[in-house]
């Protein structure tokens, strides 16, 4: 029954995730055909907003792919995809401004951004080793507990679920960080005259569609975390 419940929760969320990904692509395509009134490209927008924020140690680069835009704080780089870098569309400047929003979060010490950044190392470890640790702990517990009464396997499972929880917490903190970056982007674009009030709804739609992918990922991550937590608790409950 618990596995059935897990599937009943997971399947709609997988559908939601697929829909969100498709929505991002279709929305970006729609507003990538709308040239912004300032005629500024994604690159122009990033450079201008960095100057506006008094940031002079970040480089703006072009990277391959479509919608592969990201901010790399360690390398002090804002990397814009080919679909964003040279395009003067409403969609392109919205995405570029979003990445500058992350730069400003770091500069201003935005708390959720700082928490998310602090979680990166443990979340990276958790994404690689949490599930193997849980599986190893289960196997050890099945053999050791039955033969010797040892709870070593349970402790390994607990370590695994803690790491998985850290990865889930990272995804949880990602959502407010992304939403805040989008809010900053819309404000900066208007204040700098890069887009007009009439063009703002298009930028909002692009950024909102992107946010839905993070919501779907978070919900799927939470369902998996609760599933693994239930499994671990079912073993430790014997004690």
Cβ pair 126, 166 in contact under 8 A: yes
Question: CA 23, CA 17: separation in Å to the nearest integer?
Answer: 10
Would you call 197 a catalytic residue per the annotation? no
Cβ-proximal residues to 87 (8 Å cutoff; 6+ apart), any chain? 32, 41, 42
Which of 82, 99, 108, 178 is the catalytic position? 99
Give the strand pairing for 70-72 and 77-81: antiparallel
Q: Is 70 helix (H, G, I), strand (E, B) or coil?
A: strand
At residue 71, φ and ψ (nearest 5 deg) are -105, 130
Could you tell me if 73 and 170 are in contact, meaning their C-beta atoms sit under 8 angstroms apart? no
**Rounded-to-integer distance, Cα 199 and Cα 93, Å:** 11
- Which are the catalytic amino acids? 99
């Amino acid at each position: 029954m618990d596995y059935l419940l897990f599937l009943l929760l997971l399947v709609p969320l997988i559908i939601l995730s697929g829909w969100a990904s498709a929505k991002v692509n279709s929305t970006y395509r729609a507003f990538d055909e709308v040239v912004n009134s300032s005629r500024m490209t994604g690159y122009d927008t990033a450079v201008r907003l960095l100057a506006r924020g008094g940031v002079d140690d970040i480089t703006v680069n072009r990277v391959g792919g479509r919608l592969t835009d990201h901010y790399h704080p360690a390398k002090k780089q804002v990397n814009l995809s080919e679909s964003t870098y040279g395009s003067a569309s409403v969609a392109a400047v919205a995405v570029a401004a979003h990445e500058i929003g992350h730069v400003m979060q770091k500069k201003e010490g935005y708390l959720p951004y700082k928490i998310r950044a602090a979680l990166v190392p443990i979340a990276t470890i958790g994404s690689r080793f949490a599930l193997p640790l849980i599986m190893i702990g289960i196997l050890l517990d099945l053999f050791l507990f039955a033969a010797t009464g040892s709870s070593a396997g349970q402790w390994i499972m607990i370590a695994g679920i803690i790491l998985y929880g850290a990865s889930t917490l990272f995804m949880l903190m990602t959502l407010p960080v992304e939403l805040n970056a989008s809010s900053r982007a819309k404000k900066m674009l208007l204040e700098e005259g890069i887009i007009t009030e009439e063009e703002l709804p298009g930028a909002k739609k692009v950024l909102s569609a992107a946010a839905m992918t993070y919501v779907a990922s978070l919900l799927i991550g939470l369902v998996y975390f609760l599933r693994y937590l239930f499994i671990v608790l079912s073993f430790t409950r014997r004690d």
